[in-house]
Amino acid sequence: MANDNNKGSPAGDVGVAGVSDDKGPPTGPGYEATVRTGDTNISVDLSSVPVTVQNINFDGLNRTKNEFVEKAISDVFLTKNFEQLILKVGRAQSKLQSLGVFSEVATVVDTSKGDDATPDGYDVTFAVKELRRINGGLSGMVGTNEGTAQFGINFPNVLGSGEKVSVNHFVSSSSGKKTEINVMVPFPYIGTEFSTSLYSCESINPWSAVTTSATGNLLQYNMKIGKNDTLSIQWHGVWRCLNALGSRGTTFPVREYLGNTIKSAFRFIYATDKRDQPIFPCSGTLRKVDVEFSGAFGDAKFLKVETDWQYNWSLFENVVLQGSLRCGLLQPLSSSPMSYNINDLFFLGGPSSLRGFHMRGVGPRCQQNALGGKVVWASAIHLYAPLPFLNSKFSFTENLRLHGFVNCGGIGQNVAECSDADNVRISSGIGLAYRFRNAARIEINYCYPFKFSAKDRCVNGFQWGIGVDFL
Amino acid sequence: MATSGSQSVPADLFEFDSKEPWAPDTFMLVPLESSQVLVPEHAAILGAQAFLKIARLPFKVRECHNSSDISPNGKLPVIKCGAYVVSELDGIVSLAQAKGMSITEYLNAAERADLRAYMSLVHNVLGNALLYFTWLDEDVYNKYTKQRVGSPYNFPLKYLLPWTLRRKVKSQLNALKWGYRTTEEVYREVETCLLALSERLGESDYFFGSTPTELDALVFGYLFTMLTHPLHNHSQFSNIIRHHPNLTKFCKRIDQDFFEEQQPESSSSSGGRLE
């Protein structure tokens, strides 16, 4: 904490709670500085200290363009008193950090010096450290019951406005590999970003015994609307070639989908997320609508709609009742056999959708191959509670929940088939779920499926699941 | 892919359940006959159909745009019999054998070896010659192959797919040294092959006496296709065959015995008329 008493004005690093000052009595609520001198407490109302920000300096700005950072800090010039100064500088600092071009952002607030310095004049200096031109890395990710290793080279802030180019190679534990070149252009001040990704991937789908080699481009425009809403507009153009996995395991109904198709799809994803946190929320709702229209050109022609709802009610002290519903519908827009393929269809079953059944183990199948359906629904009711007899002071137990659940769902080729009472699957169980770094969830459950059809592959007993997106 | 370049799976690698009889709802998957099928594919399909008709095994023909993708080894034709999906004449013959339907039981070991040798000769020479003209001859490729391969697809696959398939066939033929041959060399190969066939056939009805075998089916498929489906300005094929009257007579005989009289309603599946 630095004090500069020759003007009787406080100065120092932003974010410091106590600031000593020797003039002015406390006048009201708001930011107050208290200092103990001898045995008298002096309180100062910071909003009554007039401030004029005269200069804002950047230290360490090399290739980043001025216009790109100007907007983050322009608000600081409007400061009228010291309280605002602290708030606005803090806000500017976190904004600068969120631009993704600096590895460090530090701020120094000092009184103005020099010939044109006014008595209430302040200078703000942002000392930033830019990310290096190239960085690379090796990281691991968690998908639905699989792990993925990522090797990547990033070129952050290529043109000085936060543009990022990255080349990534992913190798997954069970489902193939992917190489992509990604270009991202952010517009952080209007809450949007544009990205395009050129990729080539080989993926394995063991549940239907097919492999897919896909080469394509994904254009994405993501925007934040208000506090809770996000909209993503995507165009996805991809050449997909489906092949049989191995020489014998692929049955004829799956083989009929094999071959080449080109899909050109527009996709709109609108989400309203009012939950307090994405994993183990205590309150709030999530609503998500995902509409995909394929058929601008190319062979695949269909309309696909998926919706997600999740409601959370906090009953008492960390005991949360959660209800969720997921529905999906695929409508082919042409009678051609190329209008959709097995990768476009819906599948049901597995720890992240319908517990008590094997992964994609519910619904139409031919021998060992899951055939998928055009209509799907799944719902879950959970009761989450912290573990009894354990205090939640340790982060391990804080991230652990006991839960009981009832899952229902159905899958079929049309709405009538799906809503038929005979086609409803119900399972229930209890288990432990662990939140891993607020990004993934691991759970082990004892499941008991009690309504299923003869062809379903049930899990009557322990089932574990790892992933991000759980029902 | 139509051209995986892999050798066909040897018959003994298939583990067929021989207890089940030949499924009555067996069907043969072929490319769209009016717009998509290519001359080499047509020859292979016709040969397999001739075999099934000779063996009196019932089947229906079903057209679909991705029949070669459905095929386990990328080759045509594809047969779905019960739970089995089998491709090419060799695969179909061993499937039929597993179901107790063999048309070569009367052959002795030496004749069987002969049969295999002639079948691989026909496969290698006539099969590759047709591939050569269909894919490597610029005229044929641009005026015929490109349009037909792309026909079931929309833009842009309509143009991309023929190009990628051509690259595959090229590398496949180059690996077999066929890609480097000139047109004249290919014709000479075909002439030699037909001469050998004509000499083997002699004046008998079929290659092994008075009853047809799968070799007869295979040869019929190729010769009948070459006679009735002239590739763009390559009519020499039919002229070479016509030099051997016993071969044209042989084609006529199989066409009449198995495609016209037996099942008049499906006679069009042989796809042409001999004058």
d(CA B242, CA B150) in angstroms, rounded, equals: 33
The first and second tokens of residue A440, run together, are 């993934």
Domain hosting B176: range is 109-261
Examine residue B161 and state whether it is found in any structural domain, yes or no.
yes
Which of A244, A262, A338 is nearest residue B72 as measured by Cβ atoms? A244
* CA dihedral of B240, B246, B247, B252, whole degrees rounded to 10: 120
Q: Domain boundary at A130, A159, A187, which?
A: A130
Average pLDDT, integer, range A154-171 = 89
* Chain A environment of B69 (Cβ under 8 Å): 242-243, 258-260
d(CA B147, CA B150) in angstroms, rounded, equals: 5
Beginning with the edge strand found earlier in the chain, give each strand of the sheet holding B60-63 in spatial order: B60-63, B27-30, B78-81, B84-87
Domain identity same for A275 and A408: yes
Average pLDDT, integer, range A9-23 = 36
Higher-pLDDT residue of A183, A52 = A183
Domain identity same for A126 and A195: no
Domain identity same for B118 and B38: no
Higher-pLDDT residue of A42, B97 = B97
* Chain A environment of B70 (Cβ under 8 Å): 252, 255-256, 258-259
Is pLDDT at A193 greater than 80 in this prediction? yes
- What's the pLDDT band for A24 if we cut at 50, 70, 90? very low
* Chain B environment of A339 (Cβ under 8 Å): none
Examine residue B170 and state whether it is found in any structural domain, yes or no.
yes
pLDDT for A1 equals 35
Domain identity same for A112 and A163: no
pLDDT for B98 equals 84
Q: Domain boundary at B67, B98, B129, which?
A: B98
Domain identity same for A369 and A318: yes
Say yes or no: A298 contacts chain B, CB-CB below 8 A.
Answer: yes
Supply the mean pLDDT for chain A. 84
pLDDT for B261 equals 59
CATH number of the domain to which A48 belongs: 3.10.20.310
Say yes or no: A333 contacts chain B, CB-CB below 8 A.
Answer: no
Is pLDDT at B209 greater than 90 in this prediction? no
Most A-contacting residue of B69, B81, B161, B164 (CB-CB within 10 A), to test interface: B69
Which of A258, A299, A338 is nearest residue B70 as measured by Cβ atoms? A258
Average pLDDT, integer, range A230-238 = 94
Q: What number of C-beta contacts closer than 8 Å exist between A and B? A: 52
Most B-contacting residue of A252, A333, A340 (CB-CB within 10 A), to test interface: A252
Say yes or no: A335 contacts chain B, CB-CB below 8 A.
Answer: no
Please tell me the distance in Å from B88's CA to the nearest CA on chain A. 15
Question: Taking CB atoms and an 8 Å limit, are B154 and A298 in contact across chains?
Answer: yes
Average pLDDT, integer, range B41-46 = 90
Residue A374 C-alpha from the chain's centroid = 27
Say yes or no: A297 contacts chain B, CB-CB below 8 A.
Answer: yes
Domain identity same for A188 and A112: no
The pLDDT tens digits of the residues spanning A323-342 come to 999 999 999 998 888 899 99
* Chain B environment of A255 (Cβ under 8 Å): 70, 85
Question: Taking CB atoms and an 8 Å limit, are A337 and B72 in contact across chains?
Answer: no
- What's the pLDDT band for B237 if we cut at 50, 70, 90? confident
pLDDT for A401 equals 87
* Chain B environment of A239 (Cβ under 8 Å): 157, 160
Long-range pairs of A10-17 with CB within 8 A, sequence gap ≥ 24? A10/A44, A10/A46, A10/A49, A10/A82, A11/A109, A11/A110, A11/A111, A11/A122, A12/A109, A13/A107, A13/A108, A13/A109, A14/A85, A14/A86, A14/A89, A14/A90, A14/A93, A14/A107, A14/A109, A15/A86, A15/A90
Give the percent of chain B with pLDDT over 90: 9
Give the three-state DSSP class for B13: helix
- Which of A81, A57, A79 is CA-nearest to residue A69? A57
- What's the pLDDT band for A391 if we cut at 50, 70, 90? low
Q: Which residue has the tokens 């899909």?
A: A263
Say yes or no: A222 contacts chain B, CB-CB below 8 A.
Answer: no
Domain identity same for A435 and A354: yes
Domains held by chain B: number: 2
d(CA B122, CA B129) in angstroms, rounded, equals: 10
Q: Which residue has the tokens 């519910």?
A: A362
- What's the pLDDT band for B273 if we cut at 50, 70, 90? very low
d(CA B209, CA B205) in angstroms, rounded, equals: 6
Question: Taking CB atoms and an 8 Å limit, are B85 and A256 in contact across chains?
Answer: no
Q: DSSP class of residue B186?
A: H
Domain identity same for A113 and A169: no
Question: Taking CB atoms and an 8 Å limit, are A260 and B65 in contact across chains?
Answer: no
Is pLDDT at A412 greater than 60 in this prediction? yes
Question: Taking CB atoms and an 8 Å limit, are A337 and B65 in contact across chains?
Answer: yes
* Phi (first) and psi of residue A179, to 5 degrees: -125, 135
pLDDT for A366 equals 86
Domain hosting A85: range is 4-130
Domain identity same for A98 and A211: no
Domain identity same for B61 and B190: no
Distances (CA, A) of B246 to A199, B194, B243: 58, 11, 9
> Is the backbone peptide bond immediately before A364 cis, with ω within 30 degrees of 0?
no
Residues in chain A: 471
Terminal-to-terminal C-alpha distance of chain A:
50
CATH number of the domain to which B242 belongs: 1.20.1050.10
- What's the pLDDT band for A394 if we cut at 50, 70, 90? low
Average pLDDT, integer, range B139-157 = 88
Say yes or no: A237 contacts chain B, CB-CB below 8 A.
Answer: no
Please tell me the distance in Å from A251's CA to the nearest CA on chain B. 8
pLDDT for A31 equals 56
Please check whether residue B214 is in contact with residue B115, taking contact to mean a CB–CB distance below 8 angstroms. Answer: yes
Give the three-state DSSP class for B39: helix
Domain identity same for B125 and B205: yes
Mean pLDDT check: name the lowest of A265-269, A289-293, B15-19, B59-63: B15-19
Domain identity same for A397 and A356: yes
Q: Domain boundary at A101, A130, A159, which?
A: A130
Domain identity same for B122 and B87: no
Please check whether residue B46 is in contact with residue B216, taking contact to mean a CB–CB distance below 8 angstroms. Answer: no
Dihedral angle sign, alpha carbons of residues B111, B112, B113, B117: positive
Domain identity same for B121 and B225: yes
For β-strands A121-130 and A52-59, DSSP reports them as: parallel
Residue A108 C-alpha from the chain's centroid = 33
Question: Taking CB atoms and an 8 Å limit, are A252 and B85 in contact across chains?
Answer: yes
**Dihedral class, residue A155 (left if φ above 0, else alpha if ψ from -120 to 50, else beta):** beta
Examine residue B72 and state whether it is found in any structural domain, yes or no.
yes
Domains held by chain A: number: 2
Is pLDDT at A57 greater than 60 in this prediction? yes
Can you give B229-273 as a three-state secondary structure string?
A: CCCCCCCHHHHHHHCCHHHHHHHHHHHHHHHHCCCHHHHHHHCCC
Higher-pLDDT residue of B217, A142 = B217
* Chain A environment of B154 (Cβ under 8 Å): 262, 297-299
- The H helix count followed by the E strand count for chain B is 12, 4
CATH number of the domain to which B78 belongs: 3.40.30.10
For helices B39-54 and B214-228, angle between their N-to-C axes, nearest 10 degrees:
140
ipTM: 0.83
d(CA B245, CA B251) in angstroms, rounded, equals: 10
Examine residue B190 and state whether it is found in any structural domain, yes or no.
yes
Domain identity same for B161 and B197: yes
Say yes or no: A400 contacts chain B, CB-CB below 8 A.
Answer: no
Q: Domain boundary at A99, A130, A161, which?
A: A130
DSSP string spanning A169-199?
EEEESSSEEEEEEEEEEEEGGGTEEEEEEEE
* Chain B environment of A244 (Cβ under 8 Å): 72
Beta-carbon contacts of A81 under 8 Å, excluding residues fewer than 6 positions away, are A46, A47, A48, A49, A50, A51
Q: How many CB atoms lie within 10 A of CB B13?
A: 9
Average pLDDT, integer, range B151-179 = 90
CB-count burial class (<10 Å; 0-12, 13-18, 19+) for B34: exposed
Give the percent of chain B with pLDDT over 70: 86
d(CA B206, CA A191) in angstroms, rounded, equals: 79
Examine residue B2 and state whether it is found in any structural domain, yes or no.
no
Q: Domain boundary at B98, B126, B155, which?
A: B98
The first and second tokens of residue A41, run together, are 């407490």
* CA dihedral of A172, A178, A181, A186, whole degrees rounded to 10: -50
DSSP string spanning A377-424?
EEEEEEEEEPPTT--TTSHHHHTEEEEEEEEEEEEESSHHHHH-GGG-
Which chain A residue is nearest to residue B73, measuring alpha carbons? A247
Give the three-state DSSP class for A216: strand
Beta-carbon contacts of B184 under 8 Å, excluding residues fewer than 6 positions away, are none
Domain identity same for A153 and A211: yes
d(CA B218, CA B150) in angstroms, rounded, equals: 28
Question: Taking CB atoms and an 8 Å limit, are A337 and B156 in contact across chains?
Answer: no
Average pLDDT, integer, range B125-131 = 89
Higher-pLDDT residue of A220, B200 = A220
